[in-house]
Amino acid sequence: MLGNVRLAVQHLSFVILMYGGRFGVHLGSAVPCFSCPYVYGCGGNCYLMGLQGYIGFGLTWAQLWGYQGLRALFWLVVFAAAASLLGKLWCGFVCPFGLVSDWLTYLRRFLGVASLRLSRAARARLAPVKYFLLAWLALGPVLVNLGLLHPDFYLPFCQICPGKSLLPLFEGEAKYLTLELTNSVTLSLSVVLMAASGLTVAGSFFRERLFCVFCPMLALFNLLRPLALARIVKDPGLCQGCGACSRSCMMDMDELWLEREHDSGDDGECLGCGGCVEACSSRGCLSLKFLGGTVVGSSPELARGLRTGGGRARG
């Protein structure tokens, strides 16, 4: 049931964030997910672009205390408020780029291809990449501003983000899937973008939400986690250790499964999709909470509502 709700919300979000602008809907420049401004007529701008923009362009020390600074602060507060309100549910329920990745996963499941799992060691090795990218998108514009980096490194993350090349395809725009030959910097960045896009598409087919492993937005969420009002919480006393949560996790996390003492459920790479809550058959062991109140808790009934293999075979 929760999975169906998620699917419905994801698709609705996709329509709003990808095409909302065409109907006069625009949620501003602090959307805490990949609502890509490169999509013509999008319904809101990903905060990562705003963040790079405010850091990098025209934001001098003097301007920091003027209108520009206030504007940057305003969007930062809006972003922090939005990110705190829904926490990582933005990733699991709202992100349009996440949904595109999910479509590839559905295709893989339909074809019966086994999923590639990342071992804990592999995940641990890859986890810092998202923080590196976050640092890159924050420092790059500063270096450009200081004249230490070529000006074409503006928006350094957006230039290599696969969302830039792939999401515009859904409004019929393929121009970001070409090599930018203006100079060696643009060429290099576009080559990286092509490679990242190709790897994202191929990798997301074999491994659910592959890009999220590297996503700097997730790194930002992790930094803001103490403020999150929506949380996934575990009661370790009720856990029977069956591993259903781990198997259902988009990110192959096993921390939640192995947790025996604390109630933290959405650490690290959790995307807040609620898959673990839905998969767990121990009543009340896992729950999605908002402001401390349970929105949905695990139960055998909720778990059985999942579509199992028998669903197809029944017909």
Partner 1 sequence: MREDNSGGGTRAGGAGTVPGSGAGSVLTAEGRAEKIREKAGKRILAEWEAERALLSARDDRHESLDYFLDLVKAPPSPAEIEARLRSRVVGVVCLQAPPELFLALGLHPYRLYGGSQNAAAVAQPGLPALMCPLLKSLMGEMTADPGTAGIPWILPTTCDWTSGLPSLKDVYFPGSGDVRVVDLPRSKENPVSTEGWFLEMAGLWKYLKTLAGRKPSRGGLLAAVGTVERARAAFGETVRLRREGRVPAVWFLLAARTFFLDRAENWTRAVEGANKHFAALEPRLKNGVFLTGSPVVYPNFKLLHLLEEAGLSVLGDDLCSGERLLFRHVALKDKSVEGVLRALAQTCHDGCLCPVFVENKRRLGPVVEAARECAVGGGKTARPPGGDKTAGSAVRGVVFHLLKGCHPYEIDSVVLERETRRLGLRFIRLETDYAAEDRLTISNRLEALRPTLDAGD
Residues forming contacts to partner 1 in the complex (CB under 8 A) are 109, 112-115, 119-120, 237-248, 254, 257-258, 260, 275, 279-285, 300-301, 303-304, 306, 308-314
CB 277, CB 249: distance < 8 Å: no
Smallest separation, CB 117 to partner 1 (Å):
9
* Nearer Cβ to partner 1 (198/300): 300
* Nearer Cβ to partner 1 (11/109): 109
Smallest separation, CB 109 to partner 1 (Å):
6
* Nearer Cβ to partner 1 (7/194): 7
Q: How many CB atoms lie within 10 A of CB 243?
A: 14
Angle between helices 47-56 and 216-224 (to 10 degrees): 90
* Nearer Cβ to partner 1 (1/238): 238
Can you tell me the distance from the alpha carbon of 233 to that of 122, in angstroms, rounded to the nearest whole number?
Answer: 25
* Nearer Cβ to partner 1 (198/241): 241
Residue entry with tokens 């197809």: 312
Query: Which helix (H) or strand (E) element contains residue 230?
Result: strand 230-234
Smallest separation, CB 226 to partner 1 (Å):
23
Can you tell me the distance from the alpha carbon of 93 to that of 46, in angstroms, rounded to the nearest whole number?
Answer: 15
Nearest CA among 96, 7, 83 for reference residue 274: 7
Smallest separation, CB 112 to partner 1 (Å):
5
CB 155, CB 52: distance < 8 Å: yes
Smallest separation, CB 303 to partner 1 (Å):
4
Which residues make beta-bridge pairs with 46? 31
Token readout for 234 is 């575990």
